[in-house]
Amino acid sequence: MAEYKTLGGLDLDIGGFTESVTSPSRSQITRDSVAERNRGIFSKPELEEDTSGGFLDGMITWFAENGHNVSKDIDSTTIKDDTLKEYQNLKIRDDSFDVMSFTPQGVVLKVEEPDADQEKMDAKYIRINSNPPTADEVQPTSGKALEDKAVDRIIELEGFIGEAKKAFSNEKYFTYGYGTYGPNVKEGQKITEQDAEKLLREKELPKRVKIARNLFNDFDNFTDDLKVELLQAIYRGDFEAGQDVVSLINKGMWEKASKEFLNHAEYKKAKSLGSKSDRPGIVPRLEAVSKALYQEQFK
C-alpha cells in the first residue's frame, strides 16, 4: 500500500515533488486543494512544520552526498526555489533517486494510513503491472528449428538428383530431387535444387512427421537428435507399424531398441560386403539411428 510522507511542508508522493511544496504560512485549505488535485484522491497527510531551516540544510547535505550540488543562498531563494530547481535538474538528466528513503536533519516525518480509495488504486496498479508476458511478447530462443535440422540431414544423406532416374536397377519407380520417389516421378523429369528443397520442406517432410507421430506415441517429447534420425530413417522406409523396434521405442527401452534396429537384412548385407556393397552409405546412416536410440536413455 502506498504511504505519503511530508518534509516540513514539502509533500512527497509517488511522483516525487509536487506543487504542494509550501511554506508554513500557506493556508491548510490551499494545501489540501493542491494535494487533492495532484493525487486525485481526497485525503492529505498531516503536515509537520519545519523549524530553524533544518529541512533545507538536510536536503543540501543529501544532494551533495549523492553528487548533486545545490547553492545555499537563503537571502535570495526560498526552500521551495532551491528544492524544486534541483528536482527539475534531476528530471532533465533523467537521474533517479529515492527521496523517500532520506530524512533531512531537523525534520519530523509523519505517515498517514491511506484511505480505502487509495488502497483500490494500489491494488489495480499491482494487478496491471504483475501480469506475465504473453506468448507474443516472449522472445523466441535461439537455435535451429527441428524442420531445418531434419531438412539439412536428409539433404546430406540423399544427395541431389536433378533429372529423374532409377538410383538402383531393382527399384520400381524413379527418383529425383532429394530422394523424392514414387509413381508421380517420371523418367527424365527435371528439378532445380531450390524447388527440390521446397518440395522436401512443404510435402515430403510433413508426411514423414505425421508417420512418426502415428508410430511413436511420445515422438514430440524425444530429443531433437533422435527425432531427426527417426525422420531420416522413415524417409528411407525403415520403420513400419508392428515392428519389434517400434514396440521397444514406445516402451522407452532404448538400449534394446538400439540393438534391434540393426537387426536389419539390408544393413547386415551392406556391412558384410563392405566396400563391395552397392549401397555402402546405408551402414553409417542406420548406425546413426541406432546411436541416437541408445543415447536417448541419458537425456
The 10s digit of each residue's pLDDT in 56-72 is 566 666 666 666 565 54
User: What residue ranges do the domains of the chain occupy?
Assistant: 4-129, 146-298
**Is the pLDDT at 82 greater than 80, yes or no?**
no
**Pick the residue with more confidence: 149 or 169?**
149
- How confident is the model at residue 83, as a pLDDT? 60
**Pick the residue with more confidence: 224 or 27?**
224
Per the listing, cell 536417448 goes with: 296
> Nearest CA to 38 among 12, 2, 6, 5?
12
Domain 146-298 fold is: Lysozyme (1.10.530)
**Is the pLDDT at 17 greater than 50, yes or no?**
no
**Which segment of 9-13, 110-114, 150-154, 200-204 scores lowest on mean pLDDT?**
9-13
**Is the pLDDT at 20 greater than 90, yes or no?**
no
Q: What span, in angstroms and rounded, lies between the C-alpha atoms of 113 and 109?
A: 13
Percent of the chain with pLDDT over 90: 48
- How confident is the model at residue 111, as a pLDDT? 46
Q: What span, in angstroms and rounded, lies between the C-alpha atoms of 104 and 63?
A: 11
**Which segment of 78-82, 120-124, 245-249, 266-270 scores lowest on mean pLDDT?**
120-124
**Pick the residue with more confidence: 215 or 138?**
215
Helices (H), the chain: 28-39, 54-65, 79-93, 116-129, 146-158, 193-199, 205-215, 224-236, 244-250, 254-261, 265-273, 282-295
- How confident is the model at residue 19, as a pLDDT? 42
- How confident is the model at residue 55, as a pLDDT? 57
Report angle CA 70, 74, 76 to the nearest 5 degrees: 95
- Tell me the mean pLDDT in the region 71-90: 57
φ, ψ of residue 17 in degrees (nearest 5): -80, 140
- How confident is the model at residue 47, as a pLDDT? 42
155-169 residue pLDDT tens: 999 999 999 999 888
CB under 8 Å to 100, separation ≥6 — which residues? 5, 12
CB under 8 Å to 290, separation ≥6 — which residues? 258, 259, 261, 262
- Tell me the mean pLDDT in the region 91-112: 47
Structure confidence at residue 144 as a pLDDT band (50, 70, 90): confident
Average pLDDT, the chain: 73
Burial category of 275 from C-beta neighbours within 10 Å (exposed 0-12, middle 13-18, buried 19 and up): exposed
- How confident is the model at residue 52, as a pLDDT? 47
